[in-house]
Amino acid sequence: MDVAKSMVDALDLEDVEVQGSLSVRPFNVGQRVPKITKILQLDKIHEAITAIKAKGNLNLLANWSDFGYATLDLLEAMARVLEARNRFRLVQFTLDWIDGVEWHIKDVVHPFTDVCDYTK
């Protein structure tokens, strides 16, 4: 888990809240693939992915006036990073809970009475 978490942490992109409306359009002639420096909200990412796929052309760009452009691949990568961040946070909460929980012998009931002598 530590290796995967460090990879996600290395993608430390600033969160940005997009207020503008989404438009989907093709690349301009000679336009380069946009470089992502900030990450959108997950609902905006899913909205853009759905809009691009609905057009039937996966080579389109999602555009917001207050964010810029993103390709389908970049949007899917951002969604994966956000989902990984959320899962790592949940795993960390669970590990912290496991480290802090204390069981009293009287709380252990059948069928778990055979593990009373085990430590965490």
State pLDDT tens for residues 15-70.
888 888 899 988 877 778 788 788 899 999 999 999 999 999 988 999 998 888 89
Quick: pLDDT tens for 79-92.
998 898 889 889 88
Residue 10 has pLDDT above 80, yes or no: no
Q: CA nearest 20: which of 68, 58, 60, 57?
A: 68
Which range (6-15, 41-50, 95-104) has the least confidence? 6-15
Q: How many CB atoms lie within 10 A of CB 62?
A: 25
Give the pLDDT of residue 11.
Answer: 67
Q: Please answer whether residues 81 and 39 qualify as being in contact, where contact means their C-beta atoms are separated by less than 8 angstroms.
A: yes
Cα–Cα dist 55/62, whole Å: 11
Residue 112 has pLDDT above 80, yes or no: no
Give the pLDDT of residue 50.
Answer: 95
pTM: 0.73
